[in-house]
Structure 1
Amino acid sequence: MPLRSRSHRRALLALSTGVALAVVRRALGQSPTPAGASSWTDWLQNFSNAGQLLQTAAFLFSAYQFWANRNERRAADEASAVQAKKDSNYQAWQVINSAQGKGGSGGRPDALRDLNRNGISLAGVNLDGAWLEQVDLRGAMLPMASFENANLHGAQLQNATLTGANFRGASLVTASLSGASLQGADFTGARLSAADLSDADLYNAKGLRECTLSYTNIEGVRRGPSGFREWALEQGAVNQATEQTEIPSDHSHSTVFRRL
């Protein structure tokens, strides 16, 4: 039987005993006293007084039970919350692992978000070919993760740790990698059009010259390859110093989309 249930039953038993004694005392107090039976009346009065004392003791015992068990109840609640989080993490990993190597989302965006919110490291996770459009992995720990040929359109990867991550052939169109650690990441053949690389750390990043960078924000990029900033601006990337970053008025939406 759960600890909380046992404690509640003891308290309710004590409370019920106190109420029963109160009813008996009241009934006895209202009973008519026969003439010449003073000794019997005194005995009943003493019994009534004893019942009152027992009632008070029962209420005090009930209050003590609730007070004494408050830490146990709190510990039980905390243990239950910890177990629930473990169960949630286990189910999320099942979703990710069962969909490994398969296309589509397979519930992975929600599973990844939940694991990240629970503070679980996603180091080395294999998400090749996954459909992770607009996945929320802000601040996630994803070193050596693999996103080869994955759809990360609009993904939120701000301040994520993506050291050594594999983005070969991935679509990162409009994705936010602001402030992300991308040291040694491989972007060979990736699409970074309109992505946000502001303040990202690109030390030793690979394949950047093989990416599409139209309208990519490179403001404040740190430790990029030699000559990367100048080359990226020539490819259509933008920063605060860019003289013209807005889309010309004579460009249709379809034309701009093709550039991305």
Structure 2
Amino acid sequence: MSLNVEVLEQSFEKVKPRADEFAASFYDNLFQAHPEMKPLFTKTDMKNQEKKLLSSLVLVVENLRNPEALEPVLKALGARHVGYGAIPKYYGPVGEALLLTFEQYLVENWTPEVKKAWLDAFRAITGLMLKGAGKESLPQVIQADKPAILAKLVQSENPAIAKSITLKAETQKESQLFKSTAEQEKKSLISIQLDGEVLKEIINNFTANYQQFQTKISEQPLSEVVKKIPRKLIDAFWIAPTWLVAIVSAVVFTVVLLIVDDNSLLAEALGAADTISLVVALVLFIKEAPDRRKQFHYQAWSTVDTAHDVKVSYARILALQDLNEDGVSLRGLDAPGAELVDINLPHANLSKANLMESDLSNANLSYANLDNANLSQTKLSGANLSHAKFGFARLNQANLNSANLRSANLVCADLSHANLSGADLRDASLSGANLEGAYLTGANLKNAKVSDYELSNAFLEGAIMPNGSLFIQT
């Protein structure tokens, strides 16, 4: 939808001088026309709620010319409102109250053109918020069902592989429930039991695959078939059960041993008694690498969970760093009051994490995702937070003294009474952020996306403003 940006900007500028009154009037109009909505705000500080409304309006109007940045913010806002009890039918009354309030404050400037501009804008905003609300309520995938689903997907093409996937999943569940790690280690290198039916099925499947392979060779150029073989072998290696990989490895080794010249150096090397065991052990070591990595991740998370109520834990720091290096998501990490000084977590996913009152001084969180995180009263002085995401994060009373927040996304973040003195906020996005009582003395805000309204209640002595000028208190 094409919006009349100039009309929206000009009309909103006329309302700004009476912004606080405007917000209060909006809620008066809403509750008067729709009293059934008032219970949604029974436990809400209305003064703070009015400020949030104004911040949201400022955010929207300031980013009308930058829809790429505005769209994800509005979707996130819609998702958050699901938790507040907001349902689609409430959006209509909100729009009516908003238009009525604009009409009351613009008076003769409330022309049909202005009305249409705001109506179109509200429809566009509502559409994006409802998309966000829809995503928030999508059902979650149950991890335990994945092996069975995967088996069904491949069953039509390869029944043996499908059966092996299901068998592997069931075996892993049983071993985790009934066997300790020590008992698993006592198992011999290769222990295989095959009844006649299973062996017959494997042979039949191999014959069928071989016939298909011959057909493909006759139908396609040999070069094309050969190119596909390595990829198919690799896929089969990771999908096949461990016992089958062990058998194939032993058979391949035996075939090589039979065809090689008895007098050659290779034959002497392969002819050693323990060579076959070493080859099979090496193949199994590679095959089971992902399972070992998973076990390592379980142990790392166990370390993090064990240190939950411990303030100082070097093991927790190492575990979190190792998990992040392996690309494991740290979303929802619960570590309030933890001492994490100098921790190195670049590009980490810490969205919705609870790090309230934690000490992250001099931490490296560059490019990290901290959207919706609770960082209230957290120590982040000297931390590297460049290009990090703090959308809707709680940073009230946080210590961000001399922190590197260059190009950080702080859209709609709560920075009330935070210490940002000396912070590098160049090119940062602060649209819709709450900066009431925030200390920005000596901070560098050059090219930052923030309005005068958002900065009006902050302490700015000696700060470099977005336009590059030095703020001097008059």
Among residues 347, 350, 364, which one is paired with 1:139 in the alignment?
A: 347
Equivalence for 1:222: 429
Among residues 382, 397, 406, which one is paired with 1:198 in the alignment?
A: 406
Q: Is the 8 A contact 2:405 2:426 kept in 1?
A: yes
Equivalence for 1:160: 368
Distance 1:237 1:2 in 2: 68
Check 1:144–1:73 CA distance in 2 against 1; reply closer, same or farther (3 A cut).
Answer: same
Partner SS for 1:109? helix
Distance 1:179 1:91 in 2: 31
Equivalence for 2:296: 88
State the shift of 1:73 in Å: 6.5
Equivalence for 1:114: 322
Distance 2:338 2:403 in 1: 19
Higher helix proportion (structure 1 or 2): 2
Gaps of 5+ in 2: 1-187, 191-245, 433-450
Equivalence for 1:209: 416
Q: Is the 8 A contact 1:216 1:238 kept in 2?
A: no
Check 1:113–1:238 CA distance in 2 against 1; reply closer, same or farther (3 A cut).
Answer: farther
Partner SS for 1:162? coil
- Paired AA for residue 192 in structure 1: L
Equivalence for 2:9: none
Deviations 1:211-231 (A, max 9, x none): 011110000102433444677
Mapping 1:41-190, distance limit 5 Å:
55-56=262-263, 75-190=283-398
Check 1:85–1:229 CA distance in 2 against 1; reply closer, same or farther (3 A cut).
Answer: farther
User: Identity of counterpart residues, as a percentage?
Assistant: 27
Check 1:102–1:58 CA distance in 2 against 1; reply closer, same or farther (3 A cut).
Answer: closer
Check 1:125–1:199 CA distance in 2 against 1; reply closer, same or farther (3 A cut).
Answer: same
Q: Is the 8 A contact 2:262 2:268 kept in 1?
A: no
Distance 2:345 2:465 in 1: 24
Deviations 1:39-94 (A, max 9, x none): xxxxxxxxxxxxxxx944997597699xx999966652333322332222111111
Check 1:242–1:171 CA distance in 2 against 1; reply closer, same or farther (3 A cut).
Answer: farther
Q: Is the 8 A contact 1:179 1:200 kept in 2?
A: yes
Equivalence for 2:173: none
Q: How does the TM-score come out when normalised to structure 1?
A: 0.64
Gaps of 5+ in 1: 16-53, 245-260
- Paired AA for residue 163 in structure 1: D
Runs (4+) of structure 1 exceeding 2 A deviation are: 1-4, 54-65, 68-81, 223-233, 235-244
Distance 2:279 2:430 in 1: 53
Distance 2:310 2:356 in 1: 12
Check 1:71–1:56 CA distance in 2 against 1; reply closer, same or farther (3 A cut).
Answer: closer
Distance 2:318 2:463 in 1: 31
Task: Out of 183-192 and 97-106, give the one that drifted further.
Answer: 97-106
Equivalence for 2:460: 234
Distance 1:239 1:69 in 2: 70
- Paired AA for residue 189 in structure 2: P
Check 1:110–1:57 CA distance in 2 against 1; reply closer, same or farther (3 A cut).
Answer: closer
- Paired AA for residue 2 in structure 1: L
Check 1:233–1:216 CA distance in 2 against 1; reply closer, same or farther (3 A cut).
Answer: farther
State the shift of 1:99 in Å: 1.0
Q: How does the TM-score come out when normalised to structure 2?
A: 0.37
Q: Is the 8 A contact 1:199 1:218 kept in 2?
A: yes
Check 1:232–1:160 CA distance in 2 against 1; reply closer, same or farther (3 A cut).
Answer: farther
Equivalence for 2:189: 2
Check 1:107–1:100 CA distance in 2 against 1; reply closer, same or farther (3 A cut).
Answer: same
Which one has a bigger Cα radius of gyration? 1
Aligned-pair RMSD on alpha carbons? Answer: 3.8
Q: Is the 8 A contact 1:218 1:238 kept in 2?
A: no
